[in-house]
Structure 1
Amino acid sequence: MQSNSQSQQPLFEAPEPEKEEAQFLTIGALAKLCDVTVRTLRYYEEMDLIGPVKRSSGKYRLYNHHSLKRINAVLALQGLNFSLDEILKVLGPYSKSRNFTKEEQIAQTRDSLSQQKHFIHDKITQLTTLNADIEHRLDLLDKVCSPCLDTDPHASCSETCSFLEVHN
């Protein structure tokens, strides 16, 4: 039974190209949604992080909501200080992901998320170690510089400070 809705296509009739293309985003629209430049998206495409889902009748790159999700994943990983090469290892190349069955895509997504979790765990470990090192250095600085402050609370460590090497 067919409703009176104009958005529903009659059976066995191909959708009009304009309506079909309206489901997709141009690279400019996608860049605006992601708050990045078109050049950034083209660079991601060169690295095989993303790619157009199809081309319009005018040969423009067209993207869908999966493209938006993938770009958001790239941006999130960059926010965690992952390099683009590391992100490519985690997400896998875009070109290889296009020919998978639904089950293979789910398995690939599961593997990708596991890799992301592993990379994030490693980054957390590195940052925790770095944070502990900074805390240690601050403690040492407080202990070493206390003679300067005890002698003259308004003094700034200058060339006469016997602990100058600690400050540099």
Structure 2
Amino acid sequence: MARYLIGQLAKLCEVSSDTLRFYEKNGLLVPGERSDSGYRLYSEEDLSRVHFILRAKAIGLSLDEIRELLAIRVEADQHSCAEVKAITQAKLEDIDSKLAELKRIRNALKKLNDACCGEDNDNASHCSILEALADEPH
């Protein structure tokens, strides 16, 4: 069975050793045994776990969500697929909400931007964008 030092595992996963230590500190990665000289040793399962973490992170899952999925993965026979789907469904709903908010912000910003003449030779004392932002809400 292969054993990796932290630097070796980091290189295989294309992350820094500090990233692996961060995952350990946050309970995503549990260091296994230590070598005779006291260095942490990581297994093939740890390599697989880090790849899982990185893929989950790449699709926008938070550390808490990843931690929850890892816990389910460890005891998969005691959990349902519906539990896993609930996590991704909640994330999708969160993303949809953020997208709607970003669209609202974009539309408001575009309206302000389109209303401004943006001429270089006009001073900003009567800029429609500055005036709109300074107006008190009704």
Q: TM-score, normalised by structure 1?
A: 0.58
CA contact (8 A) 2:6 2:20 kept: yes
Provide the rounded CA distance (Å) in 2 between the counterparts of 1:165 and 1:34. 51
CA distance in 1: counterparts of 2:88 and 2:123, whole angstroms: 40
| 8 Å contact kept, 2:115–2:128 | no
> In the aligned structure 2, how far is the partner of 1:160 from the partner of 1:28?
59
What is the TM-score normalised by the length of structure 2?
A: 0.67
Please name the residue that 2:15 is paired with. Answer: 36
Write out aligned runs for 1:91-130 (5 A). Answer: 91-92=70-71, 97=74, 105-107=75-77, 111=80, 115-130=83-98
Identity %: 31
* TM-align CA RMSD: 3.4
Partner residue in 1 for 2:48:
69
Q: Which has the larger radius of gyration?
A: 1
Task: Determine if the alignment matches structure 1 residue 46 to structure 2 residue 12.
Answer: no
Report which of the two has the higher share of strand: 1
- 2:105 maps to a residue whose letter is R
Unaligned runs of 5+ in 1: 1-19, 98-104
Residue 116 of structure 2 aligns to a residue whose secondary structure is helix
Higher helix share: 2
Shift, 1:138, TM fit: 2.8
In structure 2, runs of 5+ residues without a counterpart are: none
Mark the CA change 1:163 to 1:49 in structure 2 (over 3 Å): closer, same or farther.
Answer: closer
Count of aligned residue pairs for this structure pair: 133
Q: CA deviation at 1:29?
A: 0.6
Kindly report which structure 2 residues correspond to 1:85-96, keeping only aligned pairs within 5 A, or say none.
Answer: 85-92=64-71
8 Å CA contact 1:157, 1:164 repeated in 2 = no
From 92, 96, 99, the equivalent of 1:131 is 99
Amino acid at match of 2:77: A
